[in-house]
Amino acid sequence: MSGNSIGHLFTVTSFGESHGPAIGCIVDGCPPGMLLSEPDIQPDLDRRRPGTSRHVTQRQEPDQVQILSGVYEGRTTGTPIALLIQNQDARSKDYNAIAQSFRPGHADYSYWQKYGIRDPRGGGRSSARLTAPVVGAAAIARKWLDEQYGVHVRACLSQLGSLAIAKDDWSKVHHNPFFAATDQDIAGLEAYMDDLRKAGDSCGARVDVEAHGVPVGLGEPLFDRLDADLAHALMGINAVKGVEIGAGFRSVLQLGSEHGDALTPEGFASNHAGGVLGGISTGQPITASVAIKPTSSIRKPKPSIDLQGRATEVQTLGRHDPCVGIRAVPIVEAMVLLVLMDHALRHRAQCSEVQTITPRIAGTRVA
């Protein structure tokens, strides 16, 4: 199976299955000399891990990360960094009933038809559990980007099913179970999720992400555009079915006189482009949104087929997120961080000495 790596100069390759003994990744290309230890990585994993509230899966995984290589006397050596996370609370018997059939909306059918073999335990390789090591790898990128450029990436849940969520106070994101950038109507969100869980159903979500302090100049036309790589990475997250950069689909309704972000000596007048022009960062905040489908594993019975193609009915038991979009917030941040880290290193390799006569306008930084 290919397709398990992301990045060119900062490359992350993940391994493992949902119910295997462990999951992890190899991070290759991290610059040497940066102070790094498990406590630098663990906070991001703690935000993503299961069992943190009644609104997410109750699988109890501590997700304690181990650094196995690439660090000597507390500093990165420039060699591959291996991260390992033990699986400690798998309940494989929960999946015995669906080993001979296919869960609608899940990867069961497509994996089986492609490879002729699949691991039905928790979805095996297709499980969102495999986002944990990616979040760990992105914590390394987060630290380097902050130290080098002051880059700060943040995300929040902006819609839960049919409920739009206010975005008026980013300081609240880490103080409620929904990663909401507000303290308004959290009780209403909880009631919505409680009803959904009791009904044995699931819902989708929207996650918004912003990257501040991004240097001007990141990105490579034509096919390695920064926005193209961001879209590629964000679509690589389990259950993501749509990605918007900047104004996204709202651009359809805008006129050219409105959409084009005017330049002034004081800075850009707007940011409909989402911080990217011609595939290259402008120095403005990178803004994106992702649409996340409802969780496919639900208790409500749905029509399907078995291995012989006969009609059957599938009911997925076990422990699942009624809305995977909630825990997707740190994962969305992680994918943006990995892309920015890779492009920062690529820009540094080719264009670090480039200078122009035009001053960087307000809100931009020199790479």
Residue 325 lies in a domain: yes
- Percent over 70 (pLDDT), the chain: 95
Q: Give residue 204's pLDDT band: very low, low, confident or very high (50, 70, 90).
A: very high
pLDDT in tens, 141-175: 999 999 999 999 999 999 999 999 999 999 999 99
Half-sphere exposure of 54 (CA within 13 A, CB side): 10
Residue 57 lies in a domain: yes
Residue 51 pLDDT greater than 70, yes or no: no
Residue 59 pLDDT greater than 70, yes or no: no
Residue 97 pLDDT greater than 90, yes or no: no
Q: What is the CATH number of the domain that holds 142?
A: 3.60.150.10
pTM of the model: 0.94
Residue 361 lies in a domain: no
pLDDT at position 124 is 79
Strand ranges (E), the chain = 5-6, 11-16, 22-28, 65-67, 71-72, 75-76, 81-86, 152-160, 163-164, 205-212, 240-245, 263-264, 267-268, 276-277, 280-281, 286-292, 302-305, 311-314
Q: Tokens at residue 344, please? A: 């920062």
Residue 86 lies in a domain: yes
pLDDT at position 52 is 67
Distances (CA, A) of 79 to 26, 46, 70, 203: 10, 26, 5, 42
Q: Give residue 348's pLDDT band: very low, low, confident or very high (50, 70, 90).
A: very high
Residue 81 lies in a domain: yes
Give the torsion through C-alpha atoms of 104, 108, 113, 117, to 10 deg: -160
pLDDT in tens, 186-200: 999 999 999 998 888
Helix 38-48 and helix 328-351, axial crossing angle in degrees, nearest 10: 140
Number of domains composing the chain: 1
pLDDT at position 48 is 92
Distance CA 152, CA 133 (A): 20
Residue 363 lies in a domain: no
pLDDT in tens, 229-247: 999 999 999 999 999 999 9
Range in 87-91, 157-161, 275-279 with the lowest mean pLDDT:
87-91
Residue 365 lies in a domain: no
Domain extent, residue 271, equals 5-351
Residue 132 lies in a domain: yes
Greatest mean pLDDT range, 47-61, 103-117, 135-149, 289-303: 135-149
